[in-house]
Structure 1
Amino acid sequence: MKTIKALRIPLLAMMVLWLSACQELTDINKNPNSPENVSSNYVLTYSLVNSGKLVFGLGKNSSKIAAAMQYMQAGTNEGAAETNQYAWGQENWASYYDILRNVQIIYDNGVRDDNKLFQGIALTMKSMLFGLLTDLYGDIPYSEALKASTGSFFPKYDSQADVYKGILTDLKKANELMQNLTAKDVVSATSDVMYKGDAAKWKKFANSLRLRYALRLADKKAEMAALGINLETEFKEAAAGAFTSKADDATLAFLGTNSDNAQPGGPLASATFNWLTKPAKPLVDKLLQLKDPRLQRWANPVRRKWDANVTQATTKTVTNLFGETYSVVYVPSVASSADTNLYVGLPVGLPITQGIVYNKGNDVSVYPNEQNPYISFIHDRYRKNTDPYVAMNFMNYPEVEFILAEAALLGGFGATDAEGHYKKAVQASMDKEGALTATGFNFETYYAQPGVSYASAGNKQERILEQKWISSWFSIQSWFDWRRTGYPALKTGPVAQFGAALPIRYMYPTPNLDPKYIANYNEAVSRLASTNFIPAGQSKDHHYAKMWLVQGTSKPW
């Protein structure tokens, strides 16, 4: 017995030590960087910056939408066919859902901490990102998305109508949450890299997004009403609290201090300058026709200009309306087909062999790849690390005024004074680009032109949408506007892969091979409407299939 007692004492001590060690290991294994513990301030910075890069890339770097909306054309390299001929493939949405998972952390932490500002910001960002997804693809994983922690690994694809309902509901809730904040409802100014913790600006952003989506659903009022959403009420409520000046813009600047925060076209992020992107002829010609100073913000003059007034090649210094100087060689014009403008856009959808020599005339010189000097390049600012006129833009004041103008024209949204809002929108767009102070420019003279003024327009909706298209340079919103209205009336080039029509949606990512995932994917594809532009035998998961938003309409074609 003594022996047994003697053994019990050290055994008991060992058990106490073991239990104590287990408790210490449990404490040690609590990861301070895990989602349940990470500060929402850190997550907010990540979510904003990566959302900004995503939106910027959609409009400029991916080239697809920018080419479809004829802001630019690719040159002659291997990517030109996909861009200029609309030979689009499947598009991955993993980056969207990665950001959305982080936005969900912000919201959950906001609920846990009873921080209404964080909740409102999260709902606003969530709505913007899900809005992008459904605008691009159609039906998407929504109500069952972001729930892997509860075992939901194969979310259904919600109908587009239900997604829009959820977006408008969340934006309304965000507005309500941010109406009555208290001292504890704060966000770090350094973490909120867009609004510096200014709740009033976040509230305006939420309401401006409500305007965007209420108008986007203009042809679906009855269907949304059946779901309990009154678009006129949504619009009127949101209009009272939307952007009122450029100080409200939801934009992020590129800092340009390292490759992560520099503009993608700058030397920090790109090993070589991208000469591939050329301004497209439809936009350049329209801006030339209107004597629009924004052209000189967005494009460079040609390096060699055909000119009937010189008898030999002559180098001249050209100064644009903003005081920027360029060296241009004026060359005697020998062909009536030569484009003699100082700014020359690349025509839409040319075969590669024609794109190489466009406007080159009888010049037999060999120039570096993609550097035909008789075509303009996009402005040098897009090859810098940072520039005040290049930003990651979620939404801006001119868009709000264009929305109000079109809503007033259409009626049924409670908005009035279409012309007043239209004129404010055009002027605000000029102001955004710093064009109001261009040498010799007078806005009233510009606005009075028959091609600009509201009163002189035969089709006033087309007039509003044309100026909105110009204002949306390198933005994806013009694609969604065109799809809804058919304006501006853009035409395809001679080598468009699927005929005389522009694409209208992104194709879904390649489905996971799990049977549940494939079943959900197939159900979503079955709800798409086929069109005459989809070749026989191809899936309806196609960039020429009609999503619910434009089904039952004659738009855009």
Structure 2
Amino acid sequence: MKKLITYTLASVLAISLVNCTEDFDDINTDPYGISDESLKQQFNNIGAKFPPMFANVIRIEPAWNYQLQHNLNADLFSGYMTSPTPFSGNINNQTYSLVSGWNQTIWTDAYDANEGNGIMPYARGVHEQVQTVDNENAIMFTYLSDIIKVMGMHRISDVFGPIRYTKFNDYETTGQYDSQEEAYHAFFTDLGTAIDELKKFEGIDAFKNFDASMFKGDVTMWRAFANSLRLRLAIRVSNVDPALAKTEGEKSLASDAGLLLEDNMEIDMGGFVHPLYTISDSWGDIRMSAEMESVLKGFNDGRLETYFMPALGNGVEGEYKGIRMGVAIEAKSEYGDHSKLGEYLKDLTYKDWMTSAEVYFLKAEAALRGWAGAGDAQTNYENGIKASFAQHGVGGADDYIADNTSTPADYVDAINPANDYAYPSDVKIAYNAAGTKEEQLEQIITQKWIAMFPDGQEAWSEYRRTGYPKVFPVVINNSGGEIDTDIQIRRINFVDSEKNTNGANVEAATSLLKGPDNGGTRLWWDTGSNTF
């Protein structure tokens, strides 16, 4: 049975009416006069903090928020999508002139408690409210909130690097940053504690009324998700700290919590259309990327027809046609008729946080690295492909897996041949167990990249970590030399609101980076090479 983690937008709005105030420090007030004792008896004072946390890890509604939180940054930088719209005269994120007003939203959704935003303030609220309840089961909410917090905040760290995390709950130090290395160590600690401590709460349904999921607060599944997330983060740090990665990865692989190998972690969108469908179909602001065209068409991949729609014009009617990022665009009409995102988005009722396909690919890389309990790399690789095909209702997985000849196609621009690009790899589908570890890694990450679509944040992180798949360099670079065209964008600079209100701590955080506060500086785990 598919097990879902859900939130209903109606409940989010209802709870927001109770909990959100204009004052950042007053998110725990109750304007309706319900007694504190009544709230504590039913855990409502704790549970009311969860809907905003669920909502802000990946914002579903309004669509413009998703567009700024993910789409006009990570979705582009990952090689998944490209915008045909020349925002600001084509001087924008796509040409490496980073737009602070766009990128501010990423930070706001993590830290701003006003109007229902924020992950960290509401996680702190859970911790505070747990202390007021004289019930031995209350502590389970702390562990559950920590899992959601790590899910949201590792993504924020993977954008900016240093973040406000371990010192956030203390109001005296809430503005101080951790280095990314410190934050990741804290992520592992929080996940490990949650996985271990929640075991004693399996079978207790205290979270049921605040989960609104098909498994109604099933702690067993929460443990499996947390354990899978730990494996994701272990793989993330495998180049920069192999010992830490192996230790944490092998904990996941050996844990009685298990992994999400049959079920996806999915968030109910409460009846709203997936924001990517609105951005692509209604607004016309996003289209298929050149890289997706090259890989999916070259591989004769059956997921192509699910992920994207045939082009409508520009002399490529009926073809699946992508756009290369960072090219000269004068008007949306030039590339606007290229392939929209697939109609399947319109019918989705959920948003993935993690899929079983990703977990199989994590295991494949863990096996490649020799981690105990990972199993066989090729078997995990092939199971990952099968899981992705099944997720999207696409047949022919066995024939696809056996294909040892197809390679990504060269990209041909339908408008300007100056943008053509020869795909710089002959990576194939059929697993080559006799290849070098680097060659096997490219196969694993390329298929993982296909399977994780449309989660551009994870895809961009994995590209930066491994260099795979081969994301095309921009043609126009408006960064003023801050971002190397060939190395490509590595992070997003700290946002203006933080610089204006928390300047001293931002300055201290900048000293924790490997270089200046700009898009060309690598993150801690981004070593620029693999360690095989």
Q: Secondary structure at the match of 1:527?
A: coil
The residue type equivalent to 1:378 in the other structure is L
Counterpart for residue 504 of structure 1: 490
197-206 vs 106-115, which deviates more? 106-115
> What are the superposed Cα offsets for residues 109-141 of structure 1, whole Å, 9 maximum, x if unpaired?
445332243232112112112212221111111
**Alpha-carbon distance between aligned partners in 2 of 1:477 and 1:290, rounded to the nearest angstrom:** 22
| Structure 2 Cα separation of the partners of residues 179 and 472 of structure 1 | 29
Q: Tell me: CA distance 1:266–1:68, structure 2 relative to 1, closer, same or farther (3 Å).
A: closer
Post-superposition CA distance 1:188-222 (Å, at most 9, x none): 24643474211111111110111011111112336
Change (3 A) 1:59 1:414: farther
Q: How far apart, in 2, do the equivalents of 1:409 and 1:118 lie?
A: 36
- Bigger shift: residues 82-91 or 347-356: 347-356
Alpha-carbon displacement from aligned partner over 1:3-22 (angstroms, at most 9, x marks no partner): xxxxxxxxxxxxxxxxxxxx
> Are 1:86 and 2:96 an aligned pair?
yes
Corresponding residue of 1:114: 136
Alignment of 1:65-144 (within 5 A): 65-78=74-87, 80-90=90-100, 91-92=103-104, 93-97=107-111, 98-110=118-130, 112=133, 113-115=135-137, 116-144=139-167
Per the alignment, in what secondary structure is the counterpart of residue 399 of structure 1?
helix
Distance 1:119 1:513, change over 3 A: closer
1:244 matches 2:207: no
Q: Kindly indicate whether residue 519 of structure 2 is the aligned counterpart of residue 543 of structure 1.
A: yes
Q: Which SS does the other structure have where 1:53 is aligned?
A: coil
Matches within 5 A, 1:32-431: 32=34, 39-53=45-59, 57=66, 62-78=71-87, 80-90=90-100, 91-92=103-104, 93-97=107-111, 98-110=118-130, 112=133, 113-115=135-137, 116-148=139-171, 151-153=172-174, 155-181=175-201, 186-189=206-209, 191-193=211-213, 195-221=215-241, 224=244, 230-238=247-255, 241-246=258-263, 249-256=264-271, 261-264=272-275, 273-304=282-313, 342-353=319-330, 357=334, 370=336, 372=337, 375-382=338-345, 384=346, 387-388=347-348, 391-412=350-371, 414-431=373-390
Cα drift, residue 502 of structure 1: 2.0
How far apart, CA to CA, are the structure 2 residues paired with 1:457 and 1:274?
Answer: 47
The equivalent residue for 1:366 is: none
Alignment partner of 1:449 out of 374, 397, 403: 403
Residue 347 of structure 1 deviates from its aligned partner by 2.6
1:477 correspondence with 2:467: no
Higher alpha-carbon Rg: 1
Q: Could you say what secondary structure the match of 2:49 adopts?
A: helix
CA distance in 1, matches of 2:466, 2:472: 14
Paired residue type of 2:87 = E
1:467 to 439, 447, 464: 447
Measured after TM superposition, the shift of residue 431 of structure 1 is 1.1
Q: Which moved more, 1:53-62 or 1:124-133?
A: 53-62
**1:52-73 deviation line (CA, Å, top 9, x unaligned):** 4179927985321111112111
Q: Is the Cα contact below 8 Å between 1:140 and 1:160 reproduced in 2?
A: yes
Q: What displacement does 1:555 show?
A: 6.7
Cα deviation for residue 184 of structure 1 reads 5.4
Instruction: Look up the equivalent residue of 1:172 and give its one-letter code.
Output: G
Decide whether the 8 Å contact of 1:243 with 1:397 is kept in 2.
Answer: yes
- C-alpha separation in 1, matches of 2:55 and 2:242: 37
Looking at structure 2, the residues matched to 457 and 354 of structure 1 have their Cα atoms a distance apart, in angstroms, of 48
Q: Give the Cα–Cα distance (whole angstroms) in 2 for the partners of residues 58 and 217 of structure 1.
A: 28
Q: 1:418 to 1:29 in 2, by over 3 A?
A: closer
| TM-score normalised by structure 2 residue count | 0.75
CA distance, structure 2, for counterparts of residue 29 and residue 378 of structure 1: 43
Aligned with 1:490 (options 462, 468, 471): 471
Name the CA shift for 1:509/1:222 in 2 (closer, same or farther; >3 Å).
same
**Matched residue, 1:317:** none
Superposed CA RMSD = 3.3
Farther off after superposition, 477-486 or 43-52:
43-52
Shift in CA distance, 285/152, structure 1 to aligned 2, threshold 3 Å? closer
Q: Amino acid of the residue matched to residue 474 of structure 1?
A: P
Pick which of 390-399 and 271-280 moved more.
Answer: 271-280
Letter in 2 for 1:292: D
What is the correspondence of 1:16-35 to structure 2 with a 5 Å cutoff?
A: 32=34
For structure 2, which runs of at least 5 residues remain unmatched after alignment? 1-29, 112-117, 405-427
SS state at 2:199 partner: coil
Alpha carbons of structure 1 residues 492 and 29: separation in structure 2 relative to 1, 3 Å: closer
C-alpha distance 510-296 of structure 1, shift in aligned 2 (>3 A): same
Write the deviation string for residues 208-260 of structure 1: whole angstroms up to 9, x where unpaired. 111011111112336849xxx933543433586111202xx21113232xxxx
Distance verdict in 2 for CA 1:272–1:344, change over 3 Å: closer
Aligned-partner Cα distance in 2 for 1:161–1:412: 22
Give, in whole Å, the separation in 2 of the partners of 1:417 and 1:265: 36
- 2:517 counterpart SS class: coil
CA distance in structure 2 between the aligned counterparts of 1:491 and 1:409, rounded to whole angstroms:
26
Name the SS for the 1:134 alignment partner.
helix
Give me the whole-angstrom Cα distance separating, in 1, the residues matched to 2:509 and 2:298.
44
Pair 1:133–1:29, CA change in 2 (3 A): closer
Q: Which amino acid aligns with 1:180?
A: K
Partner of 1:330: none
How has the CA–CA distance of structure 1 residues 71 and 239 changed in structure 2, closer, same or farther, with 3 Å as cutoff?
farther
Q: Do the aligned partners of 1:211 and 1:239 also contact (CA within 8 Å) in 2?
A: no
Q: 1:355 to 1:454 in 2, by over 3 A?
A: farther
**Count of residues in Structure 1 that have an aligned counterpart in Structure 2:** 449
What is the TM-score of this pair, normalised by structure 1? 0.72
Does structure 1 retain, via aligned residues, the 8 Å contact 2:266–2:354?
yes
For 1:494 and 1:457, locate their aligned partners in 2 and report how far apart those are by CA, in whole Å: 36
8 Å Cα contact 1:504/1:543 also seen in 2? yes
Do the aligned partners of 1:217 and 1:549 also contact (CA within 8 Å) in 2?
yes
Q: Which runs of 5+ in 1 are unaligned?
A: 1-27, 307-338, 359-369, 437-441, 531-539
Distance 1:343 1:481, change over 3 A: same
Following the alignment from structure 1 to structure 2, what is the Cα–Cα distance between the partners of residues 183 and 406?
Answer: 33
Compute the displacement of 1:165 (Å): 1.0
CA-to-aligned-CA distance 1:290-313 (integer Å, 9 cap, x gap): 11111111111122485xxxxxxx
